[in-house]
Amino acid sequence: MTRSIVDLEDAIANLPAQSRAAAGRLFTVSTTIGRLDAPPEMHAWITKLFGSVDAVREQRIVRVTNEITFEGALFNDLRAMRPMEVKGADEVRQTVAAAANDPFDHPLTGTPADSFGRIEGEHGITASNVAKYDGYHGVLVFTEHDPLAPVDAETIRDHLTTTRRWGEAALAADPAARYLFVMWNCLWRAGGSIVHGHMQMTATRGQHYPKVEALRRQALAYSASEGDYFDDLWLVHSALGLGTEIEGARAMASIVPIKEREVLILGRPGAAETSLAPAIARTVATYRALGVMSYNMALYLPPLSPDGEDWRRFPPIARLVDRGDPANKTSDIGAMELYAASVIASDPFRLADALRG
């Protein structure tokens, strides 16, 4: 079995017939070689950064496209082999400590309430977001101030239960606000404007957000002729050694990650999002072990009440992605990620090994 993303094309070709056929339906994979000729004046610098001039003279690049969702990624073996270091850990810890006694540390007086009041869980309480994305936009303020404190499955389960209760309260106030979206932006590198640990929730009207609705339609179109999209996605990743089951949820290191170290977690259709809690907790713990301090998480969920559309095959889904060193002043995304395909410097096979522990 392959241990590197740069061998993906050969790995798929050597899969058993069923998973190889599913890979052929879902993905297009191609490999190319990028070449350069460095002047002698650059040799010392190249050797210091990459080990040798020969290491950069020919570079193998793997392009992966999901033909159903049109997500895509470009992997360079030179980038994938380099260690990803977090150099600003001490500075981040100092910033977290300095932020103690922020408004989220006393949410009842430091944050506004939603029009339907607050929802309190064992490990957090909700507030209304001051600058809203949507008509209903709340914050789940964690009881624990430190966003880098260890989290276990029970804490995550409590957070997801509280966000669901918030969505149900929004739905009771407005029966059209049936589409719950939950996000977790850990630290400023991931878009978190407050250091204190928190999640956010929105409840939107009319139709789910475009990326969620697009995935539902794409999966339905696939199932009309090929079978269950999510089962096939799991089949391919599992056969490649990129998937692991965690208390019933299926976690995989994506071969079309939106950015570094993306983990996709699939529940079972009809299951509650709390079924994803152990896998989310494992992923966060894996990130921390790898030195990841800043990350995003999003939950894709069916509507809280029927909307007349077919959501029967749509499972609860969590997506988590590493957002890089919080001390790095260079952005982790650029024009390629915004308008073309993601350029990835991490190897999903290494991430999968770490997830399995």
Query: Tens of pLDDT along 165-210?
Result: 999 999 999 999 999 999 999 999 999 999 999 999 999 999 999 9
Q: What is the CATH number of the domain that holds 193?
A: 3.30.428.10
- Contact criterion met (CB below 8 Å) for 293 and 86: yes
In the predicted structure, residue 68 carries a pLDDT above the cut 80? yes
Neighbours of 353 (CB within 10 A): 16
**Structural domain total, the chain:** 1
Structural domain includes residue 160: yes
Which residues form the domain of 285?
A: 87-357
- Tell me the average pLDDT of the chain: 95
What integer is the mean pLDDT of 129-141? 97
Helix/strand/coil for 215: helix
* pLDDT score of 78: 83
* pLDDT score of 81: 56
**Cα–chain center distance at 316:** 14
Dist. CA 320–CA 210, nearest whole Å:
19
Dist. CA 223–CA 136, nearest whole Å:
33
Q: What is the pLDDT of residues 72-121, one digit of tens each?
A: 999 997 875 555 566 778 888 999 999 999 999 999 999 999 999 999 99
**Rounded to two decimals, what is the model's pTM?**
0.96
Structural domain includes residue 99: yes
Structural domain includes residue 44: no
Q: What percent of the chain has pLDDT above 70?
A: 97
Residue 328 confidence class, pLDDT cut points 50, 70, 90: confident
Q: What is the pLDDT of residues 16-39, one digit of tens each?
A: 999 999 999 999 999 999 999 999
Question: What is the four-CA torsion angle of 10, 13, 16, 17, rounded to 10 degrees?
Answer: 170
* pLDDT score of 85: 63
Structural domain includes residue 206: yes
What integer is the mean pLDDT of 238-266? 98
- Contact criterion met (CB below 8 Å) for 282 and 251: yes
* pLDDT score of 2: 56
What integer is the mean pLDDT of 42-68? 94
Q: Which amino acid appears at position 122 of this protein? A: E
Angle between the N-to-C axes of helices 277-289 and 153-173, in degrees from 0 to 180, rounded to the nearest 10: 130
Question: Which tokens is 229 given?
Answer: 């999209």
What integer is the mean pLDDT of 329-357? 94
Structural domain includes residue 69: no
Q: What percent of the chain has pLDDT above 90?
A: 91
Residue with tokens 């989290």: 151
In the predicted structure, residue 43 carries a pLDDT above the cut 80? yes
Dist. CA 128–CA 150, nearest whole Å:
26
Phi/psi region, residue 247 (left: phi>0; alpha: psi -120 to 50; beta: rest), is left
Q: Which residues contact 117 (CB under 8 A, 6 or more apart)?
A: 169
Structural domain includes residue 343: yes
Helix/strand/coil for 232: helix
Q: How big is the chain by its Cα radius of gyration, in Å?
A: 21
In the predicted structure, residue 138 carries a pLDDT above the cut 60? yes
